[in-house]
Structure 1
Amino acid sequence: MLTEAGLPAETTTLPRLTRATPAPAVRQVHLGLGAFFRAHGAIWTQEADPDWGIIGVSLMSPTMRDALSPQGGCYSALELGARGETLREISIITDVLNARANPEAVLVAMAQESVEIVSLTVTEKGYCHDPSTRALNLNHPDIAHDIANPQPRSAIGYLVRGYQRRMQAGLPAFTAMSCDNLPENGQVLEGVTLALAKLIDPALADWIAQNAAFPSTMVDRIVPATKPEDIARVAATLGRYDAAPVIHEPFRQWVIEDHFCGQRPDYAAVGIQIVKDVKAYEHMKLRMLNGTHSALAYLGYLAGHETISATVADPIFARFVKGLWADEIIPVLQAPEGTSLPDYADALFERYSNPAIAHRTWQIAMDGSQKLPQRILSTLAEATSPCPRLTLTVAAWIRYVGGVDEAGAPIDVRDPMAERLRTILDAAQTPEDKVGAILRVREIFSQEMAQALTGPVTRAYSELLARGARAAMAEIAG
């Protein structure tokens, strides 16, 4: 969270970080200008082509605009590794817009002839879709608004209206590039975009289908939320006040499907993988990294661990996650060409253990209703033998969204379905009733999946209630 609260006075009284060089010409618009893109895609794009300017868009909060605008879009990126830290300035962002305050400015930006790519990091919930079917959720209030109004609210609405303006102006379509943790994210983005466009104007949907491109991608870098102490730390090193630095680990990976309808930076020149099919990379990362991240987040939070590095420092959690990779996830994965999945798991454990990266279990636990299908349930659906660790993870998520931890303290559950899930759990009496009621939420669990999980998850949930997360894991971890 970016805030001056808690900052020492000497930090905010330092000279402000400002742009030292002219801003590059705009070639890209990015929807969802959070910490991840600024610590990943923006850095890599600057390396690939420093003249490829990006307009950043915050869809809801003005916080990022207010922090970056006085700095001309520039900010610092602090890399924290086991051997030390590296600080660098990122200047590829040319302007920051707040969509809620000025939706017209966002549409004007997307309609610029120079714009070749509109990229997105809006999290799973930003796609306004049903995670279990990948279909556009027509009951979503933002989608209902965007069907009827030319000034959109959702990221999907902005894409559709941006394409509409380009079609009407006789301009070529831009490439829409999802950088979110969704399997086949390009196909998901194309599906919901065309579905909304068809409801607005069938001719527009046909134009998008014929002219636009939606490459799938896989992105990977651990980027914890920026805290006031991080801002103070950067200021002390920089000698200037940067209101919006990002913190990240050394590791990074970006795999992009070779499917663009216009120009792009020379991604391959800086190590970005341009491939025909991203699917194997997506599945590997979503299940091995994101899946175990979620498992460690829910179980770790319940057991009282604040960060991922503290969680895997616990020997029971270390054995648990290593067994989860070896016995439950790797057996159902096809490795990308030239990749050793056991070696990838070892590298992930080393990344998780980095004490310099304070990645909070609470942060990773957000939006679980949107993440569970692709991170956990997809592996369970393909498994041919029991998966006690993944089953316990589902039970831990149910316990977590109940809103009360093992010590009886409230949990600040951040999830688009939080109120509904809590109401369901509060209305049920027994563990069997609670689990059964949650498994009937069809936006998350298919009927087939619910039937397969009812018995195992009920037993795991009862174990969590009776013994707590750490003891329940110890029984499985051995």
Structure 2
Amino acid sequence: MSRLNRSTHPAPVFPERILQFGTGVLLRGLPDYLVQKANSEGKFNGSIVVVKSTDSQTDEFSGQDNLYTVAVRGVQQGQDVSETTVVSAISRVLAAQTQWKEILLIARNPNLQIIISNTTEVGLNYVEESIFQNPPQSFPAKLTAFLYERFRSVGGSKAKGLVVVPTELVTDNGLKLREAVEKLARFNELGKLFTKWLKFHVRFCNSLVDRIVTRPTDEARQALEQEQGYEDELLTFTEPYHLWAIEGDDRVKQTLSFASASPSEIIIDEDINFYRERKLRVLNGSHTLTMPLGYLLGLETVADEMRHPTMSRFIESLMLEEIVPTVPHYSVAGMDQAAVAQFARDVLDRFRNPHLDHLLLNISLQETAKMQARNVATIQRYYSQFDTTPKYIALGFAAYLLFMKAVREEDGKFYGEITVPGGGILTYPIRDERAGYFYGDWKTVKPKDAASIRAFVQSVCADADLWQADLTALPGFVDAVAEDLKSMLKDGVEKTLDKAMA
């Protein structure tokens, strides 16, 4: 069977109008997919040049002429959906580690209009460094270097300004990225004219993306490749539901002309807070609070969680009883509390999608940063509204602390262990920049000593550097988390969950 390529699947070549930082499945399954849709309808006629920062290997893209397949599988409005699209919107993929000078040359492209990124939550953090390295290390530094090259090549032209749309799951991601770029401009002394051009002609848009996108199981891959008649190393599975909300004005709407092909899925508005909060708290917040518990139970995927009788009840109770009531809403149809509750019920159906292999370990990446961004405000709002401890959130938080318990360190990497059904031991990576912090703190805990467990929880909850808040100020929260953690250490995760849902 031949590999997917442009010989077997001819596709038009369009000017490079978008620069994209990131090669992950989310970008392939949502922004790139939507650009492909617009190109197919003749409403954009532009391609995407992609920057890969994680390593220098781009063979998986070049080996199939930058084509890949998006398989949409699931249920939408009671109807089974099964659609397959070959995406040809990517023109080339360049590795920042080895092709940085070539990437900077793209800044001189007069057709370039848009920059998109997805570099995980911590990827937007400011790092004080020179932008003149080859390449700079952080994403904001890479972006600053690129924008400075753009400024130099166009002479500060208004007409050659850019629209930057980060898709990282961070509140006000556009504003945060702009702040980091402005700091780097000052640190690198790039001058007042560049700062002025940056301020008036580069638009940073807050945005949110909502689509569950995964890599296929081996079985699903084989079945689809047999059906389509070609091999695809970049095969991407996704659900039917998708939304991309972008904060912007008429200039942004005009620049992001591909949005006209998907008016229901791409929302460009001057205020997207409702959509952002609804998705961040209900879908993402639920993932972050339930992933540790599900994984510690020995489950592998989100669908596995929903098939587990007790775990599925926990997820539903957490979402509908403790998260939904705290989501900010407006007194207008489609943006009221009923819309939030309906969104939550839709999310539960999306979690049950049997076609998506949404691995819990993939959700665990940078779990601490996600917990702060997605759930701290929810906890605070719950206390403000109900003046009591959210018991399901407390249990999820306790499971998170247990998930962060590393049993060993190897070459700066940390690993935890769980006992799986049948008595075996499974080692898992803790891919979190705070893993070392917890590795040290867990050494103070004696599993059978309630006082040491509570002291550990008290210390973690009081750390404002972690949470941008003092969680010990919330009455009863530390006690509830400590009690759940003590129970999991003594009786096991499953018995603790059963007791909580009894």
Return the TM-score normalized by structure 1. Answer: 0.88
Q: Structure 2: which 5+ residue stretches go unaligned?
A: 407-415, 420-424, 447-451
Q: Aligned pair 1:466/2:493, yes or no?
A: no
| Residue 375 of structure 1: how far off its partner (Å) | 1.3
Q: Aligned pair 1:398/2:369, yes or no?
A: no
Q: Contact 2:100/2:134 (CA < 8 Å) preserved in 1?
A: no
Q: Contact 2:96/2:135 (CA < 8 Å) preserved in 1?
A: no
Letter of the structure 1 residue corresponding to residue 349 of structure 2? E
Q: Equivalences for 1:77-476 in 2 at 5 Å? A: 77-82=70-75, 83=80, 85-128=82-125, 136=126, 143-146=127-130, 149=133, 151-169=135-153, 170=155, 171=157, 172-201=160-189, 202-203=191-192, 204-259=194-249, 260=251, 263-270=255-262, 271=264, 272-335=266-329, 337=332, 338-339=334-335, 340-383=339-382, 384=384, 385=386, 386-403=389-406, 404-407=416-419, 409-429=426-446, 430-452=452-474, 453-476=477-500
Cα deviation per residue 1:28-87 (whole Å; 9 max; x = unaligned)? Answer: 000011111101111111222451211011112234x21111322111111122536322
Q: Contact 2:129/2:184 (CA < 8 Å) preserved in 1?
A: no
Cα deviation per residue 1:261-312 (whole Å; 9 max; x = unaligned)? Answer: 6722240441211222111111110110011112221110011111111111
Q: Contact 1:119/1:178 (CA < 8 Å) preserved in 2?
A: yes
Letter of the structure 2 residue corresponding to residue 374 of structure 1? A
Letter of the structure 2 residue corresponding to residue 433 of structure 1? A
Query: Which protein is richer in strand relative to its size?
Result: 2
| Residue 347 of structure 1: how far off its partner (Å) | 0.7
Cα deviation per residue 1:398-446 (whole Å; 9 max; x = unaligned)? Answer: 1001134442643221112223322322244421233234335443223
In structure 1, what is the equivalent of residue 411 of structure 2?
none
Higher relative contact order (CA 8 A, sep 6+): 1
Distance 1:214 1:254 in 2: 15
Residues 101 and 437 (structure 1), Cα distance of their counterparts in 2 relative to 1, 3 Å cut:
farther
| Residue 231 of structure 1: how far off its partner (Å) | 4.1
| Residue 391 of structure 1: how far off its partner (Å) | 1.6
DSSP-derived class of the 1:241 partner: coil
Cα deviation per residue 1:66-116 (whole Å; 9 max; x = unaligned)? Answer: 111132211111112253632210011111111112111222223422111
- Range moving further from structure 2, 373-382 or 313-322: 313-322
Distance 2:341 2:188 in 1: 48
Q: Contact 1:17/1:241 (CA < 8 Å) preserved in 2?
A: no
Distance 2:436 2:348 in 1: 34
Residues 463 and 15 (structure 1), Cα distance of their counterparts in 2 relative to 1, 3 Å cut:
closer
Q: Contact 1:31/1:56 (CA < 8 Å) preserved in 2?
A: yes
In structure 2, what is the equivalent of residue 6 of structure 1?
none
Distance 2:103 2:463 in 1: 36
Distance 2:240 2:258 in 1: 22
Which structure has the larger Rg over C-alpha atoms? 2
| Residue 157 of structure 1: how far off its partner (Å) | 1.0
Letter of the structure 1 residue corresponding to residue 376 of structure 2? L
Cα deviation per residue 1:336-366 (whole Å; 9 max; x = unaligned)? Answer: 6514122111111111111111211111122
DSSP-derived class of the 1:76 partner: strand
| Residue 466 of structure 1: how far off its partner (Å) | 2.3
Q: Contact 1:49/1:265 (CA < 8 Å) preserved in 2?
A: no
Q: Structure 1: which 5+ residue stretches go unaligned?
A: 1-12, 129-135, 137-142
Cα deviation per residue 1:225-263 (whole Å; 9 max; x = unaligned)? Answer: 345545433322221222211111111111111245672
RMSD, matched Cα: 2.2
Q: Contact 2:37/2:261 (CA < 8 Å) preserved in 1?
A: no
Return the TM-score normalized by structure 2. Answer: 0.84
